[in-house]
Amino acid sequence: MNLVTTVAELRAVLREPQRAGRTIGLVPTMGAFHEGHLSLMRRARAECDVVVVSLFVNPSQFNDAADLIGYPRDAERDAARASDIGVHYLFAPAVEEVYPPGFATTVSVGGLTDTLEGRHRGRAHFDGVTTVVTKLFNMVGPDVAYFGQKDAQQALVIRRLVRDLDMPVRIEVCPTIREPDGLALSSRNAHLSPDDRARAAALHRALDAVQRAVAAGERDPAAARLPALAALRAAQIEPEYLELVSTRTLVPVDRIDGEILAVVAARVGATRLIDNRLIQPSPNPDREVATVATAAPTTA
């Protein structure tokens, strides 16, 4: 694996594979790699000829100075883990390389960014994300870029960015990797005290509780939220938000008729965590039998 720190060097090393028509996969990250990051890299490695992982703690997407200063960083360990997976290039630019003096451009996606994380972290958060991702796409020129379902709103916003600006890159969204007790892996989990770490699994339990309510036939979102709120309360967690929203628009649903997204954000101790879960209303029992019956011969 090669460590690259400048845009000029990155373009130079990618020129030849690009000219030869080899597929380039990009995994944008802020480092402090965990299995979630590594799953994206493995997927990119399996699907692309050349894999670039960017490691850049993007100051412009932090709404909290203390969060930026305290963000976990371990460049050496990150490089070793990426190398083990077979990543070809780790692109780790300095802040001045990405934002040189006089930098004055912002790429902003409307609508989808007004709610949930956008509402709670402020307009600048997603502006920071979409601006840096646009820059990374322009620097690398990837055929495919990999993002995690863990940041579901971010993934939707990036899809919209790519569609609206006709960027020639395919976006792949990969499943959330979790600890055995269900806690979604996150670089910020490193900040949790042992007690907070134990309580943090309640976010996952809350999303499970929504799933169970919907599977039991609940179609009223307000009612389906109640057991989830109870699960959080049992762990003394007050959510910033806990919503059942459309998977397309992120607007809260009036009724659970099709697939929805349950989303939660909460501070556990001093650490802000987010999680989400796709939820399907259970098919009616007759259809379930029919599906099994017709599926069996084709899968045999």
Interface with ligand AMP (CB under 6 A): 29-30, 36-37, 39-40, 147-148, 150-151, 174, 176-177, 184-187
Tell the residue number behind the tokens 């600890």, with chain if given.
179
Tell the residue number behind the tokens 């099709």, with chain if given.
258
The answer to whether residues 175 and 277 touch, using CB atoms and an 8 Å cutoff, is no
Judged by DSSP in three states, 153 sits in: helix
Q: State in angstroms the smallest separation of the CB of 287 from ligand AMP.
A: 31
Please provide the DSSP assignment of 65-104 as one string.
HHHHHTS---HHHHHHHHHHHT-SEEE---HHHHS-TT--
Q: Which is nearer to ligand AMP, 133 or 244 (CB)?
A: 133
Q: Which is nearer to ligand AMP, 143 or 151 (CB)?
A: 151
Q: State in angstroms the smallest separation of the CB of 67 from ligand AMP.
A: 12
Take residue 150 and report the two structure tokens written for it.
Answer: 């863990």
Which residues are marked as active site?
37
Q: Which is nearer to ligand AMP, 134 or 253 (CB)?
A: 134
Take residue 128 and report the two structure tokens written for it.
Answer: 């920071």
Strand 50-55 versus strand 24-29 pairing type: parallel
Contacts of 21 (CB under 8 A, 6+ apart): none
Q: Which is nearer to ligand AMP, 26 or 209 (CB)?
A: 26
Q: State in angstroms the smallest separation of the CB of 125 from ligand AMP.
A: 12
In angstroms, rounded to a whole number, what is the distance separating the alpha carbons of residues 277 and 205?
11
Q: State in angstroms the smallest separation of the CB of 156 from ligand AMP.
A: 12
Judged by DSSP in three states, 141 sits in: coil
The answer to whether residues 194 and 271 touch, using CB atoms and an 8 Å cutoff, is no
Q: Which is nearer to ligand AMP, 233 or 267 (CB)?
A: 267
Q: State in angstroms the smallest separation of the CB of 57 from ligand AMP.
A: 8
Tell the residue number behind the tokens 């395919």, with chain if given.
170
